[in-house]
Amino acid sequence: MSMSALVLQTQDNCPPGLLGDWAASRGLALDVLRADRWSELPDPSVYDCAIALGSYASLAGPWADWVAREVEWIRHADAAGVPVLGICFGAQALAVALGGSVRKLPSPELAWIELDTADPDFVAVGPWLALHEDSITPPPLSYELARSVSGPQAFMTGSHLGVQFHPEVTGGLLSRWIADRRDLFAGVGDELVAAARDSGQAAADAALRLFDAFAVHARVALKATRETTRIASR
């Protein structure tokens, strides 16, 4: 595949997970950076694509400084023609950066879900793990790919893809999230873990297809951007 990607990680317990395994198997070089610790993020144009991961932070209320920097960085990536895959909080940051919005849900969505999807070859029906307290309104001129009862779950805007669910989840990550947020997962944690044992392989297979589809889309978009730049520079 011969691509490079910047991964914006925001906390210790939200690493690339399955995304890292996929990248290694496809020859995609991941440069993982802690977006919450850097006062200045690198130039997006030196990467072929970017991936913004999840966070406990919310875009529905006051923002920490690093959140504002990440949102602004995504705007720069868009201007540079660098495709971005946003996951959960990353999808919310992508939406806000490009003119969408985020609101609090009446109650969190903490479940393995199936989706109403407009393109099952790109975003499968599921199962997907949804763990979020906010809902996305996608940017203007975006295309909603999938939704659940809580609202939009996947959208395309330009060369970018945002997914509200967690395709990167592994059994170990799920157990860690539950242990770290026992208050949030009270009454549902054991059920989520049990469902993961039944649904984990199907979810992982769907995630790999999603990552592959994004990579193909990103390569095409990047090639078009570079060709346009080449022609304009003549």
The answer to whether residues 189 and 180 touch, using CB atoms and an 8 Å cutoff, is no
- Tell me, yes or no, if 168 is annotated catalytic: yes
Percent of the chain as helix, strand, coil, to the nearest 5: 40, 25, 35
| CA atoms of 51 and 56, how far apart (whole Å) | 17
Choice among 88, 109, 132, 217 that is catalytic: 88
Q: Which amino acid is it at 36?
A: D
**Is 160 an annotated catalytic residue?**
no
Q: Give phi and psi for 228, each to the nearest 5.
A: -65, -40
Catalytic-labelled residue, pool 14, 109, 160, 168: 168
Report the distance separating Cα 157 and Cα 162, nearest Å. Answer: 8
Closest CA to 53 of 13, 21, 80, 22: 13
Q: Could you tell me if 61 and 96 are in contact, meaning their C-beta atoms sit under 8 angstroms apart?
A: no
Instruction: Please pick, among 14, 49, 160, 166, the residue that the annotation labels catalytic.
Output: 166
SS3 69: helix
Q: Is residue 49 annotated as part of the catalytic site, yes or no?
A: no
CA dihedral 111, 107, 68, 128 (to 10 degrees): 10
DSSP string, 38-52: -SSPPPGGGSSEEEE
- Of 92, 94, 76, residue with least CA distance to 84: 94
For residues 16 and 51, the answer to whether their CB atoms sit within 8 Å is yes
Catalytic residues: 88, 166, 168
